[in-house]
Structure 1
Amino acid sequence: MYVGSEVRIGDLPLVCHVRGRGPRCVAHPAGPGMHWEYLRMPLAERDHTMIYVEPAGTGDSGSLPADARYDLDTYVKHLDAVVAAFADEPVFVLGHGHGGFVAQSYALTRPRALAGLILYATGAVADAPMLAQARWNLHRDTDGDAGDVEAASRRLREVLPSHFAHYERRRPEFAPLVDAVRCWPRPAADFAAFDLRERIPSISVPTMILAGAHDFVFGPSSAAALRAAMPSAGVALFENSGRFAHVEEAERFASVLMEFTRRVAHGGGPRHGPGPSVAAGEVLDW
């Protein structure tokens, strides 16, 4: 199934791509500023209705006015509008990277709107050095032009292979994704540092934490830190993945996602499992 949807926030259109069948799962991409297509999960669409968001300022979605900011509060407000548009059935939210920051913040402010939360290759902190590196990666060839999408996308394609576990060995599989990735630099330029560590213990919805063992940004240590703050959450580590387990270990990723959403849908919400120290390839109970 494929359906294109537009969610409006005042005069601002947000484009969503709806694919698959089954429990609804809104997927928010990384960045800020990355296009949704890299996050497509065809295998997950066998068992879920995946709702891929084009965040404001990317793709065919509208852009914010020049005097507005692409900050966390804005993304949370937009995610709330998307969830509400599909909330005639229970809705899960999956956030990847920066999308995980948005998803955590949303779960803290609107827990009753969610069936469950999937935090994928993300963490609870975005500090100033991390954001400075991300902005430099996108802007160093753009002459400071926050609208230079082609230059920013070219820079991202250069650095993205290092975020896979075995890119050179599996280049024929991964190169098409890397070559097609696009990003819009202005949202990244607006984003500010934050720290949610003191707040995330208050997240009350069923939660699953997903991380790649070779992710040097948000890998096992970030997953363990999230689990320490949310001891009833589940954790799955993907031993042959970096930041893109939905591509690097697509079958297992889809299986873990299905098992989590199915258990939550059948009333088996989170329950306490082992402590936060986890090994690659292990799935902790939830």
Structure 2
Amino acid sequence: MTDEQFIATAGGGILYDASRLSKPGAELFSRSQWAARGALEEIAGGRSSIALLNVAVWPGLQDGSSSSPGVEGARWVLRHYRRGGFVAKLSQDSYLWTGAGRTRSFAEWRLLAELRRRGLPVPAPIAAHYVRGLLTYRADLITELLPGARTLADLITGRDLPEAGWSAVGRTIAAFHREGVHHADLNANNILLGANGADVYLLDFDRGRIEARGAWEQVVIARLRRSLEKIKGQRADVRFGEREWNWLQVGLAS
């Protein structure tokens, strides 16, 4: 169970899981601090907002159980919230301040905690951060890396994903929809499959929410279909077509 705690920082605040961390500071979200410890690995994608962190070297971790993220080899994902599209030309990473609870990072952290409480397969939220300006704020989120998992986009590039894998993706999306979980940007890069090909996880719940079931579910599915078609047009040898989509639909209906 996530132990939610808040701590104020200079010009901002941190929401964190006290079972994972002990009174973190703003330096936890500093890439330069992680790089100085030789524990930062930048990765492409998401408008260069993502970095992998080797958490074994970080002080202040809670390590009272075998599931602690402080064990050797464990990693976290640090994401800095950045804008896309036309708005990014005006401000790459600033958002209008409307209160701490409505910051992108705090809202996503709390949604992930709730989804895990409901038994849904999402990464564990570690810590969320915001720093205020006069009327705006910037934000970061740290989640646990799912070891051995790969994106659906990568798994269908140059190889076939079996029917069982596509059906598992459909069943997983259906499980989220039964709980009224509206993913704002479900695409082939936000779906992970575990090394066994059966475990499926959803990522990136920025602007996600829980609401009454309705027509939005088909909008989410249509967005996923468009992302698969887009990847097929961008990459060579992507194994996706009507057969695979029908397999996913079977999982959705089960």
Q: TM-score scaled by structure 1?
A: 0.25
Which has more helix, going by share of residues?
1
